[in-house]
């Protein structure tokens, strides 16, 4: 007799999943891409094949199942050994991703041009069953983990793998993609350092990270920035200007200021570049504001460079490759062990599994009493406060 999924709590979905004989696993990548996604895919496929499972990739988040007509070659990609050869070091994701297709709040255009958000999760769960998929490995950030948990509530067997350059997911010491972003941001800051020095300018470098300052802080400290502005510490621009002028008096005629895209002044708000239907607000633009204000306050020429998506593209560092491979293999082991509704997390020296709902309960921001912040202060870096 087929054992049915006992944790099936959906009032809506009529489907259920066979726990005892998993044959087919799906993997998807959701949200913004991050270096290491292909390494996870490779590890999942090879580990799954070793355990006797078949693997399919869902194209572009869940779109391969939700809008299959968009994919002439099919919304599902069979993933075998050949498909994942030589991809560990490649940026991007071979199965595509999207940060617009949240099945819980899917934007549907109305005849008058406006949009309404529709919950398509029942339809999605049905599509999994129709395609003979017994379990899902969902690779993504907080939004993806929230979706994965909701699908579990509707009867799907899911294991999450945390990804984001922002490093803002709770319960894992780090997400893959972060190390590459910090490495590349540091490289860029180093390059900008010499040109700032030659021209005696203030160079403002805006980095991604959404509402968390991890990338700015780590890259800024690693590359000896003079000021680092992060969302966790609202800044006073006068304090930053004082730092620049202080350096000027000490014969240092240039300054490097790293600004997280989510940084904001005391009593001020985030700078939002765009609000688009069906996706999170797009931050960006604070770097230009900081540069203009510093130029005004110090009388020094100030320029802004926005690193943006450069931090997400390209090949993963070896640390991110290893972490991604470990996460992918651990996700398959979780399925093999009968785990569901969990996220793989790094808890050095090993990986462990945490309930998905725990992982998304709150955003992981930079702790103000953490030693990286203390290090920045000890080194004389201005944090704008």
Which of the residues are catalytic? 166
Q: 26 φ, ψ to 5°? A: -110, 150
Please state the closest distance from residue 209 (CB atom) to ligand F6P, in A: 5
CB of residue 69 to ligand F6P, shortest distance in Å: 24
The smaller minimum CB distance to ligand F6P, of residues 64 and 177, is found at 177
Contacts of 347 (CB under 8 A, 6+ apart): 172, 173
171 vs 210 by CB, closer to ligand F6P: 210
User: Which CB sits closer to ligand F6P, 103 or 162?
Assistant: 162
Our measurement of the distance from residue 323's CA atom to the centroid of its chain's CA atoms, rounded to an integer in Å, reads: 14
By residue count, the chain amounts to: 385
Q: Which of 32, 57, 155, 220 binds ligand F6P (CB under 6 A)?
A: 32
Which of 59, 210, 315, 321 is the binder for ligand F6P (CB under 6 A)?
Answer: 210
Determine the residue with CB nearest ligand F6P: 208
Distances, alpha carbon 272 to alpha carbons 101, 123, 260, in Å: 21, 33, 13
| Closer residue to ligand F6P (CB): 133 or 161 | 161
Task: Tell me the C-alpha distance between 382 and 384, whole Å.
Answer: 5
Q: Name residue 274's beta-bridge partners.
A: 282
Residue at token pair 């054992």:
3
Binding mask 69-108 for ligand F6P (x = CB under 6 A): ------------------------------x---------
Here's the x/- map for ligand F6P, 265-284, by CB under 6 A: it reads as -----------------xx-
Return the number of the residue (163 or 326) whose C-beta is nearest ligand F6P. 163
Pick the piece of the chain touching ligand F6P (CB under 6 A) from 21-29, 202-210, 238-246, 330-338.
202-210
Torsion angle, alpha carbons of 331, 333, 335, 340, to 10: -60
Task: Kindly give the residue spans of alpha helices, DSSP state H, lying in 7-141.
Answer: 37-50, 63-66, 121-130
**Which residue stretch of 81-89, 152-160, 203-211, 376-384 sits at the interface with ligand F6P (rule: CB under 6 A)?**
203-211
β-strand 76-79 against 54-58: which pairing, if any?
Answer: antiparallel
Half-sphere exposure of 148 (CA within 13 A, CB side): 35
Partners of residue 351 on adjacent β-strands: 346
Query: What is the closest distance, in whole angstroms, from the C-beta atom of residue 37 to ligand F6P in the complex?
Result: 12
Q: What are phi and psi of 38, to 5 degrees?
A: -65, -30
Residue 137, CA atoms < 13 Å, CB-side half-sphere:
32
Return the range that interacts with ligand F6P (CB under 6 A); candidates 52-60, 112-120, 161-169, 291-299: 161-169
Q: Judged by CB under 6 A, which stretch of 77-85, 162-170, 236-244, 324-332 contacts ligand F6P? A: 162-170
Does 137 sit near ligand F6P (CB under 6 A)?
Answer: no
Tokens in use for 129?
A: 């069953």
The single residue among 209, 213, 287, 328 that binds ligand F6P, judged by CB under 6 A, is 209
Q: Is 231 among the residues that bind ligand F6P (CB under 6 A)?
A: no
Is 219 among the residues that bind ligand F6P (CB under 6 A)? Answer: no
Residue 345 CA to residue 220 CA, distance in Å, equals 26
Q: Looking at beta carbons only, is 283 or 331 nearer to ligand F6P?
A: 283
- In 82-146 the beta strands, taken as DSSP E runs, fall at 106-109, 115-118, 135-140
Residues that bind ligand F6P (CB under 6 A): 32, 99, 141, 164-166, 208-210, 261, 282-283, 312
């Amino acid at each position: 007799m087929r054992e049915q999924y006992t944790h099936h709590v959906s009032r809506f979905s009529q489907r259920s999943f066979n726990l005892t004989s998993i044959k087919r696993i799906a993997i998807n990548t959701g949200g913004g891409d991050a270096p290491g996604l292909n390494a996870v895919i490779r590890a999942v496929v090879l580990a799954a094949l070793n355990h006797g499972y078949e693997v399919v990739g869902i194209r572009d988040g869940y779109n391969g199942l939700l809008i299959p007509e968009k994919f002439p070659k099919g919304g599902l990609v069979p993933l075998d050994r050949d498909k994942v050869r030589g991809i560990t070091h490649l940026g991007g994701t071979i199965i595509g991703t999207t940060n617009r297709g949240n099945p819980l709040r899917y934007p549907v255009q109305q005849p008058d041009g406006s949009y309404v958000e529709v919950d398509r999760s029942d339809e999605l769960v049905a599509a999994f069953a129709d395609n003979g998929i017994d379990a899902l490995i969902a690779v993504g950030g907080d939004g993806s983990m929230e979706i994965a948990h909701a699908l579990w509530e509707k009867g799907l067997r899911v294991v999450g793998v945390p990804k984001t350059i922002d490093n803002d997911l709770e319960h894992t010491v780090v997400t893959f993609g972060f190390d590459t972003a910090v490495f590349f941001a540091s490289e860029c800051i180093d390059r900008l350092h010499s040109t700032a020095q030659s021209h005696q300018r203030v160079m403002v470098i805006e980095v991604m990270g959404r509402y968390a300052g991890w990338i700015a802080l780590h890259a800024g400290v690693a590359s000896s920035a003079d000021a680092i502005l992060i969302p966790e510490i609202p800044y006073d621009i006068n304090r930053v200007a004082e730092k620049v002028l202080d350096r000027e008096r000490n014969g240092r005629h240039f300054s490097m200021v790293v600004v997280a895209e989510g940084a904001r002044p005391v009593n001020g708000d985030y700078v939002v570049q765009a609000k688009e239907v069906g996706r999170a607000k797009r931050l960006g633009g604070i770097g230009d504001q900081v540069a203009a204000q510093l130029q005004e306050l110090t009388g020094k020429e100030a320029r802004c460079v926005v690193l943006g998506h450069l931090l997400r593209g390209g090949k993963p560092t070896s640390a991110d490759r290893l972490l991604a491979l470990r996460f992918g293999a651990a996700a398959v082991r979780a399925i093999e062990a009968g785990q569901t509704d969990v996220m793989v997390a790094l808890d050095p020296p090993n990986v462990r599994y945490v309930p998905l709902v725990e992982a998304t309960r709150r955003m992981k921001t930079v702790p103000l009493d953490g030693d990286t912040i203390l290090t920045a202060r000890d080194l004389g870096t201005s944090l704008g406060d």
